[in-house]
Amino acid sequence: MKKIILRKNAYYDSVFLMLATQALKQAPGVREAVVAMGTEVNLALLREIGLLAGEGESARPNDLVIAVDALSGEAAEEACRIAEEILKRKRHGKGEEEYRPVSLDGALRVFPEANLAVISVPGRYAGREARKALNRGLHVMIFSDHVAVEEEVELKDLALDKGLLMMGPDCGTAILNGKPLCFANGVRRGPIGLVAASGSGLQEVCCCIDRMGGGISQAIGTGGRDLQDRRVRGRMMLMGIEALKRDPETRVMVVLSKPPAEEVAAMVLARLEQTGKPCVVHFLGRKPSASGGSIRFSANMEEAAAMAVALSKGEEYREISRSFSNAKMATVAEAEVQNMTSEQKYVRGLFAGGTLAIEALALFEQEGFKVLSNVRKEPGLALRSPHRSEGHTIVDMGDDVFTLGRPHPMIDPSLREERMAREAADPGTALLLLDVVLGYGAHEDPCGPLGETVASAKTAVAGRGGYLSVIASITGTERDFQNIAEQKKKLEAAGCLVLPSNYQAALMALHVIRKANTRWT
């Protein structure tokens, strides 16, 4: 069983590489291990001896290639894990030690002009490091979750006191000064400033803005609890709004969050009014209140983007420009259900982005469908087991119950793929609704394996005389390294319908499910 690990632009010390090679050769079940730079002639040699595969093919001379041939799949996996572990440690020999500070103080001695700390260490340590960083005058982004809410409140109070950003905990996305932080996309610069209490939501809105020709000044993340937990009371949301109010590059503001606690919402809206800039507010899953003053409420994330772009161009917003009109959607839906069996009725939404799942869920609920989900906690709406769908089901596969001990589905698609196969085996499944997120932090080719899984799921259902509809949206931009056009092609080649936004994908799914449930009457 052969496996390749690639490290792009690797500048490791030779002695380290030699030790790594020895360690790999001694790993149980390893027949052969080669560690070398990805030069043409080395790749040719690896190919000759049958060790070149997968991403090794695309290696460049400055990339490090580790090729392993083991007696079994498990041994190969284990060897790769050992290799990854070794590369992480970057052990040295003979005095050649790579300089990497182990403490924040050490880091600041060497880099006193640092202005931002990005923290993704385990949650129980993250708060402490964040406090140190704030006390040293750094702005902070905490990607980690599992930080106690009391600690979050203390950190945000400290940040308020010092006038610094404290984005997080559980802040997966931010774009500052045009630079993507953690999971983020390459988005055009422009006059729209965003403050969001949601990672994948912020990604979706920013990508829609980019697609519509708009641009962003800053996208500040507040962390998931900022508005939802009364104790945190929107501390960072309010700071973000204040900063964007004073930012000359920001002319339009967008606020995005799951529905906040009532009095927190009131505070946020009042503060937005005071900015004197036009604002678009989207509280997911909540129907828009009547817009008033300079605040407009959007009905979905794509609309929030469209409204913001119109405002930034000084135009009046009319409606989203859709790939398919309602009439066209009905036609497409008709074609999709043509070959379904009478048992196929249910939507199975499998989402990597939590906010994207919520948006789809809200849309179905608004249209009168009863949908179970692991996102809902109320009895009757909560899935009894998140691993098993019942009736209409929408699942957030990034939820803790799935990610404990495993990488997030945005990085590792295998868990979702297994679930897709199970849904395809369920005769009640009519439709799979999916999200794909591109950009930094995400998988380098999500639609490759996903496309294959879609194809085999469809084949499995067709083999039983039915038809599986698969609908997806891709959250990404042309600047993202995964190549959004290629990704879309891969899904479409597998028979998946690809819509340009999460909202439109959910809407299309709605049409299909309606048709699937009414055609027999």
Partner 1 sequence: MDVKKINELFKKELKVINLGLDSFADNLRKEEVEVLAMDWKPPAGGNERLISLLDKL
Partner 2 sequence: MGQPILEKGTGKTLRPILVGAGVPGLTGWGQVVSSFAGAVNLRHPQGLLVSLVEDPRNMTSLSVCVPALFRKQERRLFPGKRVRLEGPSLATEDFVLDLQGRPIWQGRITGEDVKGLSPSKILLLKQSLVSMGQDGGFLGLLRREQTDNAFVSKARRVLAGGQVLCGLVGLGPGSTPSGDDFVAGVLMREEAKAVAAHREPVIPWSAEKEGLRAAMDRTNDAGKTLLWQALHGRFPSYLIEAVRSVSEAKGQQEIDEAVERAVSHGATSGTDALVGFVFSREGTFEEP
Residues in contact with partner 2 by CB under 8 A are 9, 11-15, 17-18, 21, 34-42, 45, 48-49, 61-62, 92-99, 109-111, 113
Q: Per-residue x/- marks for partner 1, 128-147, CB under 8 A?
A: xx---x----xx---xx---
- The stretch near partner 1 (CB under 8 A) out of 178-186, 258-266, 308-316, 446-454 is 178-186
Residue with tokens 């990672």: 199
Please state the closest distance from residue 181 (CB atom) to partner 1, in A. 8
- Asked whether the beta carbons of 497 and 474 are under 8 A apart, the reply is no
Among partner 2, partner 1, none, the one that 404 touches (CB under a kind-dependent 5 to 8 A) is: none
Residue 162 is a binding residue for partner 1 (CB under 8 A): yes
Contact with partner 1 (CB under 8 A): which of 50, 54, 73, 101? 101
Distance CA 197, CA 220 (A): 9
Contacts of 166 (CB under 8 A, 6+ apart): 130, 134, 139, 140, 142, 155, 156, 158, 159, 236
Q: Which residue in 14, 72, 103, 459 binds partner 1 (CB under 8 A)?
A: 103
Residue 5 binds partner 1, judged by CB under 8 A: no
- Which tokens belong to 501? 């936004």
> What is the token pair recorded at 368?
């009168």
One of 45, 107, 267, 299 touching partner 1 (CB under 8 A): 107
Residue 236: how many CB atoms within 10 A of its CB? 28
User: Which region among 28-36, 108-116, 221-229, 508-516 touches partner 1 (by CB under 8 A)?
Assistant: 108-116
Q: How far apart are CA 450 and CA 170, in angstroms?
A: 27
Q: Which residues of 389-424 are buried (b: 16+ CB within 10 A; e: fewer)?
A: beebbbbbbbbeebbeeeebbbeebebbbebbeebb
To partner 2, the closest distance from the beta carbon of 35 in angstroms equals: 6
CA 463 to chain centre: 33
Which listed option, partner 1, partner 2, none, makes contact with residue 143 (CB within 5 to 8 Å by class)? partner 1
Whose CA is closest to 140, among 160, 167, 161, 114?
167
Q: Which is nearer to partner 2, 116 or 460 (CB)?
A: 116
Query: Shortest gap between Cβ of 108 and partner 2 (angstroms)?
Result: 11
Point out which span in 54-62, 239-247, 307-315, 454-462 binds partner 1 (CB under 8 A): 239-247
Does 362 sit near partner 1 (CB under 8 A)? no
> Residue 205: which residues within 8 A CB-CB, separation 6 or more?
194, 196, 254, 256, 282, 301, 304, 305, 308
Contacts of 250 by beta carbon, 8 Å cutoff, 6+ apart: 191, 192, 193, 217, 218, 244, 277
If the CB atoms of residues 90 and 328 are measured against partner 1, the closer one turns out to be: 90
3-state secondary structure string, 364-407?
HHHCCCCCEECCCCCCCCECCCCCCCCCCEEEECCCHHHHCCCC
- Is 227 in contact with 260 (CB distance < 8 Å)? yes
**Residue 413, preceding bond cis, omega within 30 degrees?**
no
* Shortest reach from residue 143's CB to partner 1, in Å: 7
**Side chain identity at 34, as an amino acid letter?**
V
Q: How far apart are CA 194 and CA 216, in angstroms?
A: 8
| Helix extents (H) in 230-300 | 235-245, 262-275
SS3 string of 174-192?
Answer: EEECCEEEECECCCCEEEE
Assess 60 for contact with partner 1 (CB under 8 A): no
Query: Choosing among partner 2, partner 1, none, which partner's interface includes residue 11 (Cβ < 5 to 8 Å by kind)?
Result: partner 2
Rounded to a whole number of angstroms, the minimum distance from the CB of residue 9 to partner 1 is: 8
Q: Which does 49 bind (CB under 5 to 8 A by kind): partner 1, partner 2, none?
A: partner 2
| CA–CA distance, 8 with 65 (Å, rounded to integer) | 9
Binding of residue 246 to partner 1 (CB under 8 A)? yes
In the sheet that holds 64-70, the strands lie side by side as 2-7, 64-70, 30-37
Residue of 100, 318, 377, 384 interacting with partner 1 (CB under 8 A) = 100
Specify whether the CB–CB gap between 249 and 173 falls below 8 A.
no
Q: Under the criterion CB under 8 A, does residue 290 sit at the interface with partner 1?
A: no
CB of 364 to partner 1, least distance (A): 35
242 vs 445, beta carbon nearer partner 1? 242
Alpha-carbon dihedral angle through residues 324, 328, 334, 340, given to the nearest 10 degrees = -10
Torsion of CA 384, 390, 393, 396, to 10 degrees: 40
Among 66, 117, 192, 284, the residue binding partner 1 under the rule CB under 8 A is 117
User: Residue 61: which of partner 1, partner 2, none does it interact with, CB under 5 to 8 A by kind?
Assistant: partner 2
Q: Judged by CB under 8 A, does residue 91 bind partner 1?
A: no
Nearer to partner 2, 12 or 346 (CB): 12
Cβ closer to partner 1: 15 or 118? Answer: 118
* Contact call for residue 160 and partner 1 (CB under 8 A): yes
Residues 389-448, interacting with partner 1 (CB under 8 A):
440-441
Task: Single out the residue of 11, 95, 102, 276 in contact with partner 1 (rule: CB under 8 A).
Answer: 102
Going residue by residue from 194 to 233, which x/- string records binding to partner 1, judged by CB under 8 A? -----------------------xx---------------
**For residues 286, 287, 292 and 293, what is the CA-based torsion angle, rounded to 10 degrees?**
40
Binding positions for partner 1, rule: CB under 8 A: 88, 90, 100-104, 106-108, 110-111, 113-122, 125, 128-129, 133, 138-139, 143-144, 160, 162-165, 176-177, 179-182, 217-218, 238-239, 242-243, 246-247, 249, 440-441
